[in-house]
Amino acid sequence: MLSNKHWNPKWKAERRRKVIKIELPDFEGMRRKDRLTPEEMRTKLKEQGIAPDRPWNERPMVISCSGGVFEPYVPPEGDGKVSVLTKAGAVQRMRRLEMRGKSYMNLRKIRSYEDGFDLVEFADTAQEIYVEAHKALASRDEDRLHELVTEHCYPIMMKNIERKTLRWQFVRSLEPPRAVHIRCTDMVSKENLFGQITMRFHSQQASEQAAQHATELTLAVYDRFGRLMYGSEAMIKDVLEYVVFEKHISNVYGVWRVHSKIIPQWQPVKEPMLKTFIKPEAKPEPEPEPSATSKTTTTETQPPPPSPPPGETFATA
């Protein structure tokens, strides 16, 4: 009788198993993988013991301007004309020196991105941007206004002239415009830099009618009915403003635009605007309906017969 033993006694354990299960790739499942619904994909991952991925929704985000003024400039009381011999004047002088040192450091950052940047030339450019922006605002040229002001400043300017008519025109500058505050900051990453320069404008402006025969500032704002709300085309006054300009300096195609305006706390409060409203129409009140229990029947009463005139008698049959 022949023996059934293998001639090689090695690998007995492997021969005892007989069959080795090999996981072959499921090519049909791979083809259907792209067509699976999120719920079917979640079920497949749970079968394999893998935690499903969190939904990751990416949205493009464009940061072309900052959301406000970082380290806003605080105008000195009295426009910095307090005597140095007084305590308030000495404090203003020391604070001005401290802020000027920080401004020069931030100016070096701007020049590292923009070669040949000159503050004197920028002052004239800033004044042109300021004038063009207000002309576009008066004419309601929204496309031109988007080029001259930031996305932060645009809704504020348009909200102020909603349903109004603005009469404005620049005449001349009483003093040369100058930079009083320079700051830079980064957003999201250190390479994404924004620069802000606060300019001091002491100018004379006029409405279209007064500019022909006046050399001072007049500003008139009319409501939608043509009634004067603020200012006057005949009254003349000077304007002292601190306007903030901003630029995305790390962007090659960035430009300087009007970003905000700083109003000093010591500035006198302006007279409020006269607002107009639509008077709502009065709705007639509904008459109460009489109830069934309160209904009453009225009987018509006949007037009594006329009495005979005096001296006359009526015979009765």
Least confident of 105-114, 151-160, 229-238, 261-270: 229-238
Condensed to tens digits (0 to 9), the pLDDT of residues 174-202 reads 888 989 999 999 888 888 899 999 999 88
pLDDT for the residue 291: 62
pLDDT for the residue 175: 86
The more confidently predicted of residues 150 and 265 is 150
The more confidently predicted of residues 88 and 44 is 44
Least confident of 107-111, 173-177, 242-246, 266-270: 266-270
The single-letter DSSP state of residue 311 is: T
pTM higher than 0.85 for the full model?
no
Residue 245's Cβ-count burial label (10 Å; 0-12, 13-18, 19+) is buried
CB 166 within 8 A of CB 137: yes
pLDDT for the residue 246: 94
Element (H, E) at 182: strand 178-187
The more confidently predicted of residues 258 and 115 is 258
CATH code for the domain defined by 84-262: 3.10.450.240
Question: What rounded mean pLDDT belongs to the chain?
Answer: 78
Task: Work out the pLDDT band at 115, boundaries 50, 70, 90.
Answer: confident
CB 35 within 8 A of CB 29: no
User: Cβ neighbours of residue 81 under 8 Å, at least 6 residues apart?
Assistant: none
The more confidently predicted of residues 194 and 299 is 194
What contacts 24+ positions apart, CB below 8 Å, involve 227-236?
227/274, 227/276, 228/274, 229/164, 229/273, 229/274, 229/275, 230/270, 230/271, 230/273, 230/274, 233/167, 233/207, 233/209, 234/210, 236/206, 236/210
pLDDT for the residue 289: 73
The residue type at 70: F
Per-residue burial over 78-116, b = 16 or more CB atoms within 10 Å of its CB, e = otherwise = eeeebeeeeeebeebeeeeeebeeebeebbebbeebeee
Three-state secondary structure call for residue 176: coil
Helices (H) and strands (E) in the chain, counts: 7, 8
pLDDT for the residue 239: 80
Least confident of 85-94, 128-137, 156-165: 85-94
pLDDT for the residue 302: 56
Least confident of 21-25, 49-53, 223-227, 231-235: 231-235
CA–CA dist 259, 156 (Å, integer): 10
The more confidently predicted of residues 302 and 163 is 163
From residue 202, alpha-carbon distances to 79, 143, 180, 206, 233 in Å are 11, 28, 13, 14, 20
Residue 257 has pLDDT above 90, yes or no: yes
Token duo for residue 269? 């409060």
CA–CA dist 152, 150 (Å, integer): 5
Distance of CA 45 to the CA centre of its chain: 45
Task: Work out the pLDDT band at 162, boundaries 50, 70, 90.
Answer: confident
Residue 221 has pLDDT above 80, yes or no: no
The single-letter DSSP state of residue 12 is: H
CB 201 within 8 A of CB 130: yes
